[in-house]
Structure 1
Amino acid sequence: MSIKKVENGWQVDIRPQGKHGKRVRKTLPSLAKAKRFESYVIGQMAIGEPYESKKRDKRRLKDLIQLWFSYHGVSLKDGKRRFSQLNALADLMGNPLAVSITPVDATRLRQQRLESGVTPNTVNHDQAHLRAVFNKLIRLGEWDGTNPFAQVQPLRIDEKELSYLTHEDIDALFKVLRESTNRDVLLITHLCLVTGARWSEAQYLRAEMLRNGRVTFTGTKNGRNRTIPLPDELYQTLLSHGPRIGRLFPTAAYKPFSAAIIEAGIRLPPGQRTHVLRHTFASHFMMNGGDVLTLQKILGHQTIAMTMRYAHLSPDHLADAIRFAPKIGVDKKWTDSEFQEGKIQIADTKKGT
């Protein structure tokens, strides 16, 4: 008999290739499932594709992370940093068998990170990076299981107001920077404020990227080059500042800039120390009447959604709310007698109904 009742279910025991062929045995929870499995094995044999039982995948989470890094992470700009972070997350989970990880395990990791004081935004990035490991290996055919991190929804985070420098702040900052012996920090700050460049893009700018009154930023966050016109005075200053070939600003500038911000009495939210220059450019661009599509191109955002964070600063933003809102007769000056008469009329109307 090829199917028999056993203690923990129904056991299929057959030799689809004949009595001298390979034996296939498997226990299933019900007789119906056992019969379906038997038919499947016999069917596979009939079309020349003998059934092979899958071996248990004994790879651990770190093994998958290493595989991801070898195939994909090594090509990323921040691949080594992310690889290190992923391994740290695997250690927090106890480096379990990858096949044993469930969405509940992913949720526990998230809760553990939150309780340790990690911000929700960072936790969301952790989940996204772990999810990306499984997704990449699934696409490459290196993982045929499910993605346990794909079923965990990211935490909802309230949008934060992006800080920017006022004209008074900019004047105070440049007053301090002009007194500094580090001329690089002054020019980097100026360059970021007039182009919306990230600090790193300006800090590592090469002299060859200054051409025809424009600056071209390469090695950007999204990998796309951006070319932006410069005020002539700044352009000429940059040309005469450093070598014709190589890095334009060879000295470290972040710490002097940070010290200048403090000395100028400017208080910023955590994480916006140098990025405030990019926010300042974008904010003043919109407040001065610039359009959001042009701003997207200047900042190099891949999606308009990122740029729309600055749209509310436009002087015309949602101005139609005034134009098309219902008109209320606030200009009519009612006297006490007219108001009382109106109340009487309303009362009479109600009484008549």
Structure 2
Amino acid sequence: MTDSAFATDDFVRERLSAWSREMGAVKRLAPRTIEAYSRDISQFMSFLAGHMGGPVTLKSLRELRGADIRAFMAQRRSESLGSRSLARVLSAMKSFFGFLEREGTLSTEALNVIRTPKIPRSLPKALTVLEARQTIATTQEMEERPWVAARDMAVISLCYGAGLRISEALALTRSDLETDILRVTGKGGRTRMVPLIAPVRAAIETYLGLAPFKLWPEEPLFRGVRGGVLSPRLIQLRMAQLRSALGLPPSATPHALRHSFATHLLGQGGDLRSIQELLGHASLSTTQIYTAVDTERLLDSYAKAHPRG
């Protein structure tokens, strides 16, 4: 590929910068998403520069054909890029060209003839109710320092008992705990309200009573041993210890506890729309995957229990 620094002329390069700013300031996409999209478009521009024999200009983009995009996607697939990553590449291109169309710079039909790569449907791996309870109950046995043990138990309890992503749990402040309703800021800056059930509240209160640091209302609640913001890596390592101690599969991660929260709620009769709101999913289709999880578990139990299974 051509060096991406020389792949475009000044005008296109400036539009790329403006698009990146919009993704952060207006669309409020996650930094990692912006980084991935920018990298994908940079690679596309490098490909086009080599494909067209010179820096990409506005004229080049206006003359873009579906065949050019297919050639780029084929090259990326030949580099062992999977379907999920290819779908992200196409999403990045649609985002950039959508930006150009909104600002009136150009409009193209080239992307409309490109099919999104089929992504294998992978079901989230949930723990059983017993495994989830054992995970939380065993957490304190993994650590000699009482306040660290209480801290880790509180974070893990939030992942299972409130369905939080680990990043959401570690971003909580004292002020987020003023009532029995948690105020959680999730992906895209979206805020949702999640009930704080008694066992989770008790785990947090235990941690607060033992924490050796002054925890101000607007500062992160969970701290490392030196007082800094707790790293998610430490909770991931704690889960690795728990997997080993309890004989859990490699899929038993902090995020699996969030999956377990949703799966167990659905199994107890929770409706999808409520679970969507609790998880902070922007689309109900994202939440619907848990119906497949629950059906798979039901069929598995049936096969094991039925006399003809």
TM-score, normalised on structure 2?
A: 0.72
Question: Alpha-carbon deviation of 1:129?
Answer: 1.2
Question: Alpha-carbon deviation of 1:138?
Answer: 0.7
1:92–1:109 contact (8 Å) kept in structure 2: yes
Question: Alpha-carbon deviation of 1:116?
Answer: 2.0
Shifted more, 233-242 versus 201-210: the winner is 233-242
Matches within 5 A, 1:249-260: 249-251=222-224, 252-260=230-238
* 1:140 maps to amino acid: E
2:170–2:222 contact (8 Å) kept in structure 1: yes
Summarize the Cα distance change of 1:195–1:162 in structure 2 as closer, same or farther, 3 Å threshold.
same
What CA deviation, in whole Å up to 9, does each residue of 1:59-102 have, x standing for no partner?
67544322312445444243552434433443354463333432
Equivalent residue number for residue 302 of structure 2 = none
Match among 277, 282, 286 for residue 302 of structure 1:
282
Equivalent residue number for residue 181 of structure 2 = 214
Q: Which has the larger radius of gyration?
A: 1
Match among 86, 89, 99 for residue 123 of structure 1:
86
2:163–2:262 contact (8 Å) kept in structure 1: yes
Question: Alpha-carbon deviation of 1:248?
Answer: 0.4
Summarize the Cα distance change of 1:256–1:67 in structure 2 as closer, same or farther, 3 Å threshold.
closer
Equivalent residue number for residue 306 of structure 2 = none
Distance 2:293 2:125 in 1: 12
Q: Aligned with 2:121: secondary structure?
A: coil
Shifted more, 134-143 versus 246-255: the winner is 246-255
Question: Alpha-carbon deviation of 1:109?
Answer: 2.1
1:192–1:198 contact (8 Å) kept in structure 2: yes
Question: Alpha-carbon deviation of 1:168?
Answer: 4.2
Question: Alpha-carbon deviation of 1:247?
Answer: 0.6
* 1:267 has 2:252 as partner: no
Summarize the Cα distance change of 1:120–1:206 in structure 2 as closer, same or farther, 3 Å threshold.
same
Shifted more, 225-234 versus 166-175: the winner is 166-175
Richer in helix (by share): 2
Q: Aligned with 2:108: secondary structure?
A: coil
Point out where structure 2 has 5 or more consecutive residues left out of the alignment.
1-7, 50-54, 225-229, 299-309
Question: Alpha-carbon deviation of 1:158?
Answer: 2.7
Count the aligned residue pairs. 258
Summarize the Cα distance change of 1:128–1:207 in structure 2 as closer, same or farther, 3 Å threshold.
same
Equivalent residue number for residue 69 of structure 1 = 20
Q: Aligned with 2:77: secondary structure?
A: helix
Equivalent residue number for residue 290 of structure 1 = 270
TM-score, normalised on structure 1?
A: 0.64
1:101–1:148 contact (8 Å) kept in structure 2: yes
Distance 1:58 1:91 in 2: 12
Equivalent residue number for residue 86 of structure 1 = 41
Distance 2:117 2:284 in 1: 22
Equivalent residue number for residue 333 of structure 1 = none
Summarize the Cα distance change of 1:78–1:223 in structure 2 as closer, same or farther, 3 Å threshold.
closer
Matches within 5 A, 1:20-169: 62-75=13-26, 76-78=28-30, 80-81=34-35, 82-94=37-49, 96-97=56-57, 98-143=61-106, 145-169=107-131
1:131–1:147 contact (8 Å) kept in structure 2: no
Equivalent residue number for residue 304 of structure 2 = none
Distance 1:161 1:60 in 2: 44
